[in-house]
């Protein structure tokens, strides 16, 4: 009773009375949990031979992407997948010569998927895009060492035109922005500390990129700070909370 009276007083004081009334009048919605399946399992090996993990969902909720364990006679490997209500889970494959792939994000309408293809043994990892026709496009890297490249896509804009992530450059791990016109562009790093940055997400139209960069190095290691990037201002550090090492 006390909790209800307190909520009512709070609603009256903040002008939320009408809103709470509407919410209380709405019928309860049943909550359901749906497994998306997997790309193959061997029952003789038990549950450990079945694994899938979702990373992102399209704006309308119709398309889910991630990676799953694929079990085959040639060997087991992780593979990027796409799931839709109409088709279910489907493997997206990988570049020839690579041993695994993963999908990390999907465009607003579910047509463009980004992630990476990986090669083991070795250090090769390449950011890639799966087009609407599910063709794989490699995005390259900012720098190649000993013939190997390393890049990883983390996010794609809602319109599917801009991809962001992290790639090796001559300086070190570097945030990147990619589009079909300009290719892969290194976004640099914040001033101070050891070189290390990564782009984690991008705005709907691709104009603003956010992530983390290095602005300070301490005896305990590198201190990463959130950043925002746009074509006019470049990379701008967003600071630290009170009590942080960069304050």
Residue scoring higher pLDDT (26 or 75): 75
Q: Tokens for 32?
A: 């359901």
Residue 194 — very low, low, confident or very high, per pLDDT cuts 50/70/90? confident
How many angstroms separate the CA atoms of 177 and 192, rounded? 22
Query: Per-residue pLDDT tens for 65-103?
Result: 999 988 766 677 889 999 998 999 999 998 887 889 999
The pLDDT assigned to 44 comes to: 58
Strands 197-202 and 183-186: unpaired
Burial group, residue 177, by CB count within 10 angstroms (0-12, 13-18, 19+)? buried
CA distance 79 to 91: 6
Cβ atoms of 176 and 151 within 8 Å: the answer is yes
Q: Residue 146 half-sphere exposure, CB side, CA atoms within 13 Å?
A: 4
pLDDT over 60 (residue 19): no
∠227-231-232 over CA atoms, to 5°?
95
Lowest mean pLDDT among 125-139, 186-200, 212-226: 212-226
Long-range interactions of 93-101: CB distance < 8 A, separation 24+: 93/134, 93/136, 94/118, 94/136, 95/126, 95/128, 95/136, 95/138, 98/124, 98/126, 100/67, 101/67, 101/128
- What is the per-residue pLDDT for 73? 65
Which of the given ranges, 121-125, 179-183, 187-191, has the highest pLDDT on average? 179-183
- Per cent of the chain over pLDDT 70 is 73
Q: What's the mean per-residue pLDDT of the chain? A: 81
Task: Give percent of the chain above pLDDT 90.
Answer: 50
pLDDT in tens, 206-240: 999 999 998 766 666 677 889 999 999 999 988 87
């Amino acid at each position: 009773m006390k909790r209800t009276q307190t909520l009512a007083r709070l609603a009256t004081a903040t002008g939320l009375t009408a809103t709470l009334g509407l919410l209380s009048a709405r019928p309860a919605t049943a909550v359901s949990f749906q497994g998306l399946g997997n790309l193959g399992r061997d029952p003789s090996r038990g549950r450990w031979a079945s694994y899938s993990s979702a990373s992102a969902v399209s704006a309308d909720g119709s398309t889910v992407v991630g990676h799953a364990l694929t079990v085959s006679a040639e060997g087991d490997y992780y593979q990027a997948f796409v799931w839709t209500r109409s088709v279910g889970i489907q493997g997206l494959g990988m570049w020839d010569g690579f041993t695994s792939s993963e999908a990390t994000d999907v465009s607003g309408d579910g047509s463009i998927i980004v992630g990476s293809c990986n090669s083991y043994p070795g250090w090769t990892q390449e950011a890639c895009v799966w087009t609407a026709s599910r063709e794989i496009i490699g995005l390259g890297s900012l720098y190649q060492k000993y013939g190997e490249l390393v890049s990883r896509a983390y996010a794609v804009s809602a319109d599917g035109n801009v991809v962001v992530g992290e790639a090796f450059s001559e300086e070190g791990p570097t945030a990147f922005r990619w589009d079909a016109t300009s290719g892969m562009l290194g976004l640099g790093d914040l001033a101070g500390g050891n070189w290390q940055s990564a782009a984690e997400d991008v705005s709907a139209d691709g104009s603003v990129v956010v992530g983390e960069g290095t602005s300070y190095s301490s005896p305990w290691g590198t201190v990463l700070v959130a950043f925002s990037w746009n074509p006019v201002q470049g990379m701008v550090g967003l600071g630290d909370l009170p009590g942080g090492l960069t304050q």
